[in-house]
Amino acid sequence: MEESPSVLEIIEVMKNKNYRVFKNSKGHDLNIVGIRTSSIKANTFNDWLTVFYFFDKQWNFFAFPATTDPGTYWRLKTLNVKGTAVLKPGQYRGAYKIGKHNDKYKALRQQGDVTVYRDANRDNNLDTEGMEEDTGIFGINIHRSGEYSASTLVNKWSAGCQVFQDPDHFQFFLALCEKGRSKFSNSFTYTLLKEEDF
């Protein structure tokens, strides 16, 4: 998937799945939606993180290269005895808030339960078929890769987190989240879709 689906395509999929689409006319009522591509190769920023909100009678939509699955490093060296976390597609209402990622810098931090697959076979392929599921708070945050420049490979940047490839994109996204918090609350919903949904 070389290009992100349009905002209207994303909204159609969300409605078909009975997911909530936020549309408060005050603006910055954010819809944060990841799209996992069908490629099963690890370690590349081949997914999309999108954010959109309704304001002035139209959708404001932004799409950024990202990864929604862990890099090769953490697939080979798991942090959890059950296996590396791979976020399961779904909508996680109010599961995130602005907080610190690894106590280092501001990001969207997991505050509510999410469901992950446990990839325990330690290879480079994202094959979730038949994997054990696990639900809870695992630190599946939404953050950036490098601090100063875009990263080419995922490597250690994700052990299951949703990660922006370019830190400039991430800072723009975080500024939108700050505006959303000021108008509503420090609670954000994250929705993960698959390329096959479109």
Tell me if 53 is assigned to some domain: yes
Residue 46 lies inside a defined structural domain of this protein: yes
Domain that holds residue 44: 7-197
* Total number of domains in the chain: 1
Count of Cβ atoms closer than 10 Å to residue 71 Cβ = 26
Spatial contact of 34 and 47, defined as CB atoms under 8 Å apart: yes
- Quick check: 189 and 95 in contact, CB under 8 A? yes
Asked, for residue 75, whether it belongs to a domain, the answer is: yes
pTM of the model: 0.91
Residue 156 has pLDDT above 90, yes or no: no
Give residue-wise pLDDT tens across range 93-143: 999 999 999 888 899 999 999 999 886 555 555 666 667 898 999 989 999
Domain membership of residue 122 (yes or no) is yes
Instruction: Please tell me the predicted confidence (pLDDT) of residue 50.
Output: 98
**Domain assignment present for 135:** yes
Does some domain include residue 133? yes
Q: Is 2 domain-assigned?
A: no
Highest mean pLDDT among 86-90, 119-123, 157-161: 86-90
Kindly state whether residue 1 falls inside one of the protein's structural domains: no
pLDDT of the residue at 153:
74
**pLDDT of the residue at 131:** 75
Backbone angles phi, psi at 182, to 5 degrees: -65, -30
